[in-house]
Structure 1
Amino acid sequence: MTDNLGKARWLAVLVPAALLGGAYLSQYGFGLYPCEMCWWQRYPHFAALALGLAAFWLKPPQVWTVLAGLAILTSGLIGGFHAGVEYGWWEGITGCSAPPSGTDLLDFKAAPLIRCDVAPWTLFGISLAGFNFLISSLSGAAIVALAAYRR
């Protein structure tokens, strides 16, 4: 195992674990419940966590680490799309990005409770989806680069 691969494997486990931990802390600790697109960002992190752990036991570890990095990068790209929806740069592709179209009570009851196009929390103007984009894109690319680099 090269030193770069060791760093990449640890990042492939720690990054999705930390981001999922933060997501669940914000959900259950602070009441920031996820919308549909928030869930879309979590799924690749679950996969990355499993792939990152697999890199410690399955051969060749580079393959599993790169796959974990690509899963993290995928979550970041979904986060970038979601952040764009929240900032109004483009429309979302789900029903959670628009209010009910009619005034019928059934339309209101069918409407999602958590809107995808409204950021429930921001820091320095960056939403949680925006932070996921920044962290996951940079760390996912770094993991892939570190795992692929051989001395």
Structure 2
Amino acid sequence: MPVLIALLAAAAPLFAMATERWGGLNPCLLCLWQRWPYWVAAGLALLAWLLPRRLMLALAGLAVLTSGAFAVVHLGVEAKWWPSPLPGCMAPNAAPNQSVEDMLRSLAPKPAKPCDEPTYLVPGLPLSMAGMNLLYALGLGGFALWAAARRR
């Protein structure tokens, strides 16, 4: 069970990276923040071989649910219910008396996608990648917590 949870946890950020590399999608900062809890969960699930199994699987489930919490924030930003908590998510704005040179200097070295622009992976399906992540995180987090709670 720990190996399965570790593989499923690692699959989410690997899939997201594959959509960048082969699908040409550009992630925003909130997208990137949603990935790291999966890596933590994969590591915790593998630690279940060395440390108390139930505790490590429960912590892995909570780590995955953390990604789900980031996804809820991201969905709210996409729906324009609230602004992004990350300043790097905002599209650059020109100040009233700013020169072109000043605007060019203020741009990030690598263009970032604004967090309030949803990315849809499946044409015709009104579920953004953040929404897909929320569903996946709820499922995998629940599964990991169930695995932690069950008796051998």
State the TM-score, normalizing by the size of structure 2: 0.82
Specify the alignment match of 2:86 in structure 1.
94
Distance between the aligned counterparts of 2:53 and 2:43, measured in 1?
A: 13
CA offset at residue 118 of structure 1? Answer: 0.4
Distance between the aligned counterparts of 1:20 and 1:98, measured in 2?
A: 23
Counterpart mapping for 1:112-131 below 5 A: 113-123=112-122, 124-131=125-132
Structure 2 counterpart SS, 1:39: helix
C-alpha contact (below 8 Å) 1:41/1:78 kept by paired residues: yes
Distance between the aligned counterparts of 1:120 and 1:94, measured in 2?
A: 18
Structure 2 vs 1, CA of residues 125 and 150 (structure 1 numbering), >3 Å: closer, same or farther? same
Distance between the aligned counterparts of 1:117 and 1:79, measured in 2?
A: 12
Distance between the aligned counterparts of 1:96 and 1:59, measured in 2?
A: 38
Specify the alignment match of 1:139 in structure 2.
140
Structure 2 residue identity aligned to 1:150: R
CA offset at residue 11 of structure 1? Answer: 4.2
State the TM-score, normalizing by the size of structure 1: 0.83
User: Gaps spanning 5+ residues in structure 2: where?
Assistant: none
Counterpart mapping for 1:1-80 below 5 A: 6=1, 9-55=2-48, 57-80=49-72
User: Gaps spanning 5+ residues in structure 1: where?
Assistant: 1-5
C-alpha contact (below 8 Å) 1:77/1:137 kept by paired residues: no
Distance between the aligned counterparts of 2:121 and 2:87, measured in 1?
A: 23
Which moved further from structure 2: 20-29 or 119-128? 119-128
**Runs of 4+ residues deviating >6 angstroms:** none
Q: Whose helix fraction is larger, Structure 1's or Structure 2's?
A: 1
C-alpha contact (below 8 Å) 2:40/2:60 kept by paired residues: yes
Structure 1 residues 35-55: Cα deviation after superposition (integer angstroms, max 9, x where no partner): 111111111111111111111
Q: State the percentage of identical aligned residues.
A: 36
